[in-house]
Every structure is written in C-alpha cells, then in structure tokens.
Amino acid sequence: MEGSGGEALVAAVASTAAPKSPWGKVGVGAAAPCSLADVMSEELAQELSRADTGTQDEALSLEFLAVEGAVPGPVGDTESDVLLAKLLQMEFDREHDALLRREQDKLNRDSKVSISFENYRMSHPYEDSDSSEEEVDWQDTQHDPYRAAKPQPFPRCGFTGRGKSMTTKHDEALCGRKNTARMEHFPPEFCSGDGIQMDLKLSNQVFNVLKQHSQAEQRRSARLHEKKEHSTSDQAMDARTRLLLYKMVNAGVLESISGCISTGKESVVFHAAGGRMENKEVPSECAVKVFKTTLNEFKNRDKYIKDDYRFKDRFSKLNPRKVIRMWAEKEMHNLARMRAVGIRCPEVVLLKKHVLVMSFLGEGQVPAPKLKEARLSSAQLSLAYEQVVQMMLTLFHGCNLVHADLSEYNLLWHRGEVWLIDVSQSVEPTHPHGLEFLYRDCRNVSQFFRKAGVPEALDEQDLFNLVSGLSIAAKGEAEFLAEVEQQEKMHEGHAHGLRRKGVAVNPAAVASLAQ
C-alpha cells in the first residue's frame, strides 16, 4: 500500500506540473494513470499535507482544488486543462486588480476627494483576509457604520407581526421616526439637525408645521433676494442703476462717483466729479440723485402725480415701476422752470431713466448744510426768512408751482443764501390739493422761523394769504382748511375752463376770477 501511495504521489505531482505549452498534446511525457480509490485514500491525503509543494503556484493549485471540490482525474483526461485555464484566469484577474489599484492611487494622489474602484475588483476564494493590501476606508463607500439606519419602508400589506406583536403603518413611534427622516428633504438653509442619531420622533402635527414653515421661509428668502436684486436699498444700488452710472462714467459725463451724501424716503444722493459733454458744460462737482426702485415709498405719494394734468394722461397707462422714472422727469421739469424765473436751485445736467445728475451745492465734497442744521445768527435768520417768503411768492406766481413739501429739511444755506431742493413732488396751484399743499408749506415755514426767534415771522394763515393772494379770514385751523378746500374747487373749475379754451393758466388770474 505504501508503494502504491508513493507512486500515486509522484504521478499526481507530475500531472500537476504543467508542460511548457498547456495546449499541447495530452499524454506526452505524462505518468501512468492511477485509480480513483488510490486518489481518495486517507494515506494519500496525509502524505500530500506533509509533502513540501516546492513552489507557490503548486500550493495555490492544490488549495484551489480543495475549495472547488475538484478531483484530479486520470492523466490524459481533459480535467487538467480546465484546472490550468482557471489558474490562468486567476493570474489575469490579479493583474486586473493590480492595474485598478495603480489607477486608484494615481487619481487619489493630489485629490481632496478619494475615488475607489473596489466594486470593480475581482474577489477570489483563495485570497486571504489578512493580506497586506490597503484596506478600503468606509468613507470611500456609501455605507456609514456610525450613522443610525433610516426606518425601512413598510410592507405593502400595511402591518407586520401577528396578534399582540402586530405593528401597523400608523404606529406612533414608527411614524415619528419616518417624519424625522423626511426632514432631510427640507431646503438646505433649514437647519433640522441629526434627528435620526438622536432617535427623534416627530408627530404628524409638528412635522406639518415645520414643513409649512420651511416652505414659507424659502418663499420669503426668494422674495428678499429678488427685491435686493431689482431695487435699491438705503445706500446700495441694484444692477440696472450701477450699469447706468458705469455708462455715464465711460461716456465721460462723470469722472468718478464718490460716496453717499444724503438719503431720503424716495432717493439716494451721491457725490460725483464732473466730466464733459459736447453740447453742455458739466460742473466740476455734481450730485447724482438715484430714485429708489422700490414701490413702498411711492404707494402713498401717487396723489402728487396722478392728479397733475401734465402727467395725468400718462400715469394711467404706465406700469407702476415706471412711475419712478416719471418722478425723476417731473423734478427735472420743475427745476428747469424754477431756474428760468431766477429761483436758486440745482442745475440739471443729465437725466437717464431714474438717475438725475445735477450741480452740487457745496464745496470740497462737503454738502451745504440744511437750514435745520445750519448755525445762523439772528440777522442771518431774518435774511433767510425774507428769502424763503420771496421764494414762495416767486414759485407760486412766477413759476406757477407749489413746493408741496417745503420745510427746513429741503432748504439749504449755501454761500449766504437759501437754496431750494427736492421738488419732485411739486404741483401747480390748480392741482386738486394744490392750496392744501401750500397751506402745509406755510405752516412748516412759519413754525420753524417762529421757534428760531424771528420776530417778523407771520403765522401760517397770514403767510398763506400773502403767498396765495387770497383774503381768507383768520379762523380755527379746521374752519380755515374747509375754506381752503372751497377755494380749491373754485380754482380747479376756473382752471379747467381756461385750459379747454387753450388759455395759459396763471394762479393770480385764477384767484381774481374766483373772487
């Protein structure tokens, strides 16, 4: 038995030793075949386990046989060709894995994000788990062992378990975990936290409230973003306004634009260095008035323009956003009319949509102080009062306008004289509320100079009669305003009749006809 076992061992080793050409003729130089009983004998197995295989390829082939359950057949059978083909395929797979590993290392060398080809590798049963190859980090895969598992979808039947252990899809804890997992679908700016790790259970009511809140916040942020992009804020400009100013600088009208010098309800004023124009002289210092493109400040101020006969026909046909351009156009026309009669006010240089370029009242980029902020002596205050009253008379009779927002904030003290600004809301005396606006201007002027200690300052009723040319008896404020409204209706009717006849309307003539 021992002799036959030794011969079988020699035959097996000889049969596993592949010829130089594995596809050569079978049986050439092979040992004599042995029986199946000899191969399956226990002594042969023990002898093979004690024998030194000699080479690594022979050990791998025997291990592969043991795992696959392949039994070497007799010499001359085609089973040895199948074994050699599998060994060759293993070599090809190992070369493929080595190539993938080299490509992976090459791509991940200088990259902040690692790439793994682990899913494309060929795994083999003979490979040892304790190999010296690099272990794949769990961060390179989609599986995170430290993250709590999300609740699995419920079966279609709607319940699991039987009897007392039955759990339905309406289970409170199950629905709470599911709502917590659904919070991950909220917008990115909504901070929901890691509720899955904390095993947070949200009721349907709480989840619905959070969902509605997230949607409302998303819509609100979108509106704010659009509002910022399409409107001007206190000291900032939108893209369209910046483009207009860039064009002015590129055209040479302005050399440069400095910082903000004044802010108001409906506009922002910037200082700019003047440039040149072909048909007009540009001052060395300019004031760029940018009307805000938001409609909030203009919703309650449309009465200044929609009842003005100069813009009445155009107002109803325009988009509300274009009303802002009309404000700039109205101020340009009012300033031109005022300068024509000698009223001290800024000179218009250029108008582009809602941007108005005017001459700068001040020196060295320092704007002239407002009458409210100017430190004037008693003599200067008396002089300023006389100039303001004369300015109101000239504005009403010579310029046929009412300022409609005259106060110590819209009067500047520049070079020892009073200058008038901010006339975008000015209307004609025949406006349906023209005399009412005039009375308000007289009240503001009278109260300011009386508080400043000017002895010759008239009260608002006497100043109104002086400027308007009317002779309304001094009464209480309510009765006086009622009489002013009656005069407005009479003025409006006479002015309308004169316009239909094509006659130029003069406030003094209208007042005389009304009386």
Q: Are 337 and 424 in contact (CB under 8 A)?
A: no
> What 3-state class would DSSP assign to 286?
strand
Strands (E), 244-294: 254-263, 267-274, 285-291
Rounded (5°) CA angle 498-503-508: 75
Task: Calculate the CA dihedral of residues 36, 41, 43, 48 and round it to 10 degrees.
Answer: 50
What is the 8-class DSSP label of residue 463?
H
CA distance 395 to 402: 7
CA distance 412 to 388: 11
| DSSP classification of residue 196 | T
Q: In what order do the strands lie in the sheet with 267-274?
A: 254-263, 267-274, 285-291, 355-359, 348-352
Q: Say which residues have a Cβ less than 8 Å from residue 189's Cβ, sequence separation at least 6.
A: 217, 218, 221
Cα 456 to chain centroid, rounded: 57
What type of residue sits at position 336?
A
Integer Cα distance of 202 and 186 in angstroms: 14
CA distance linking residue 253 with residue 226, whole number of Å: 31
* Cα–Cα dist 15/7, whole Å: 12
3-state secondary structure of 120: helix
Q: Which of helix, strand or coil describes residue 231? A: coil
DSSP structure class, residue 353: T
228: its two tokens? 């910022």
3-state secondary structure of 259: strand
Q: What is the set of active-site residues?
A: 405
As a whole number of angstroms, the distance between CA 312 and CA 307 comes to 6
Among 285, 287, 290, 301, which Cα is nearest to 235's? 290
> Across the strands, what pairs with 289?
269, 356
Neighbours of 329 (CB within 10 A): 19
8-state DSSP, 163: G
Place of tokens 């802002």: 324
- Backbone φ and ψ for 497, nearest 5 degrees, come out as -65, -40
Q: Which pair of tokens denotes residue 293?
A: 């493109």
Which pair of tokens denotes residue 91? Answer: 């070599």
